[in-house]
Amino acid sequence: MSFIELKNINKSFGKKNSKVDVLEDLNLSIEKGELVAIMGKSGSGKTTLLNILAGIDTPDSGEYLFDEKPMKIRNAADGVKFRRNNIGIVLQHFALINDFTVSENIEVGLWESGLSIVEKNKRIIEVMEQLQISDLKDKYPGKLSGGEKQRVAIGRAIICRPSLLLADEPTGSLDSSTEENIIKIIQDLNKTNGTTVIVVTHDDEVAKSCMRTIHLEKH
């Protein structure tokens, strides 16, 4: 049995006349510890798929099994709960809180962890060392480069040790040298922590660095 399994997933947007089928009878299996790239043209449903995997959106029909259990996201609160326990998310636009320092941004991922302050601090230090951003801990996002921001975003996503890391165009806003750096970090996380990683990208280089690439066709 796969770690993630999508069976006959359908998703469309709009109403009757303007209805657009984004995902149609999508079947997908991802094993635990895999590093998978999802590629496709604009409008092919990459981000929609990521949103369904993250519990942000729900499919119109079909079955989503996560760690062999059927996902039942009835409302936004269910999605929040699901993400808290299982998912880390990295976005193209970094999504950092500008009035928080680097360490505070990373700590947001632990707010709901129930860990003690000592344990939280220990984990923040570990993650910052792993991502080589220890020297940036008191800086605010406005003072960071794109690559540094993305590393902070990755730090926040992995601090709660999720079993699945979803990255939506993680290198989309970065130059090529920084892009390589971020890809390497994601690969390391996959290998070292055993985290299953799904990267949504339109970049061939990023896709090549993954174990497997899934292509989505535009309908």
Partner 1 sequence: MSTVIINTYRNMFKSVKRNLTILLNMVICTSVIFILLQNYYYLKDRHDDYFTSGNIASHFEISFADEDDGGLYYSDQLNKTPMYYVGQDLLKTMESDPRIMLYGLTYSNFLPEDYVDGVNMTPYAIEGVNEILIEQYHFSKNTQDAFELKCDSGRFFQEEDFNVDTDDPVPVVLGYNLQEVFKIGDTIHLKNEYYDDRAVVIGFLEKYSSINAWETVNYMDDAIVVPGDFPRDFEELEKNKERKLGLSSDEEFTSITSPCIYVMDETMDLQKYVNSLTAKNGFYTLCVQATDGVEVTETKSISEKNVMLIAVVTAVTGIICLITLGMVLYNRALEDLSTNCIYLLCGIPLWKINTSIILEMLIWAALSCIPACMISQLEYKKLMVSPVLLFAFSAIVALIALIPTLRVMKKVNLDVFVRNRIIV
SS3 label, residue 18:
helix
Which one, 20 or 76, has the nearer CB to partner 1? 76
Instruction: Sketch the per residue contact string, 139 through 178, with partner 1: x for CB under 8 A, - otherwise.
Output: -----------------x---x-------x----------
Given the complex with partner 1, which of 99 and 135 has the nearer CB atom? 99
Piece of 19-27, 44-52, 121-129, 180-188 that binds partner 1 (CB under 8 A): 44-52
Which one of 96-104, 121-129, 176-184, 203-211 is the stretch in contact with partner 1 (CB under 8 A)?
Answer: 96-104
| Distance (Å) of CA 166 to CA 19, 101, 190, 200 | 27, 23, 12, 8
Binding flag, residue 84, partner 1 (CB under 8 A): yes
- Distance (Å, whole) CA 209 – CA 185: 11
d(CA 182, CA 136): 17
Two tokens, residue 207: 């896709």
Contact call for residues 36 and 210 (beta carbons, < 8 A): yes
Q: Does 202 bind partner 1 (CB under 8 A)?
A: no
- 215 part of the interface to partner 1, by CB under 8 A: no
Which of residues 47 and 190 has its CB atom nearest to partner 1 in the complex? Answer: 47
- Cβ count within 10 A of residue 180: 16
Options 14, 80, 119, 126; binder of partner 1; rule CB under 8 A: 80
